[in-house]
Amino acid sequence: MAECGRMHGESAAGAGSCGEKPYRPGKKGTKRSMAAESHGLPIDIALDGTNTHDIKLLEETLQSTVIGRPEKANLCLDAGYTGAKEIAEELGYEAHIRLRREEKREKENNPDFKARRRVVEVCHSWLNRFRKLLVRYEKKARNYRGLVELACAIIVWRNLIPVHPGLIPG
């Protein structure tokens, strides 16, 4: 396998891919596709190179669920997943795909409205607080995946069993 060079601030390529994007040469890195429950706790994760489109990682992300879920679970997605409604329904999810302007209009009409898809961004923020994950230095994808899974377990543990109440959001 070819080794991927990286500059300061770039992460190593993930899951064995280090190809370049045809429209952005030299872009390397790892993409984390994640599903979170309603409070932002991670329940699914899939890793691949940054040159992989989000829709291609959706099925792998949804199939990697390690906990039980209701028969008909809701799945909130952004506009980048417009063609993925069928994939989600095949896997037993009810897909809710909304544009940002629709959520903005709803927020103007209903001040109590809360955008549900933002919980994944909260989870990514929690993952980025682990400095070891922010910039990937691991050469092997399985080592990086292990660190990401450990960080997810720590996030869940911190939110379920608060050690210092008041310091941990949730």
Q: For the chain of 170 residues, list the mean pLDDT of each consecutive stretch of 10.
A: 37 42 60 82 86 83 75 78 82 79 81 74 88 87 91 89 61
pLDDT of residue 5: 38
Which pLDDT belongs to residue 148?
92
Amino acid 19: pLDDT: 41
pLDDT at 169: 59
pTM: 0.68
Q: What is the largest CA-CA distance in the chain?
A: 54
- At the topology level, CATH places domain 30-159 in Nucleotidyltransferase; domain 5 (3.30.420)
Task: Note the pLDDT of residue 129.
Answer: 92
SS3 95: strand
Cα dist from 163 to 61, 124, 130, 147, 169, whole Å: 30, 21, 18, 22, 12
User: What's the confidence (pLDDT) of residue 150?
Assistant: 93
Q: How much is the pLDDT for 147? A: 93
pLDDT at 24: 52
β partners of residue 94: 74
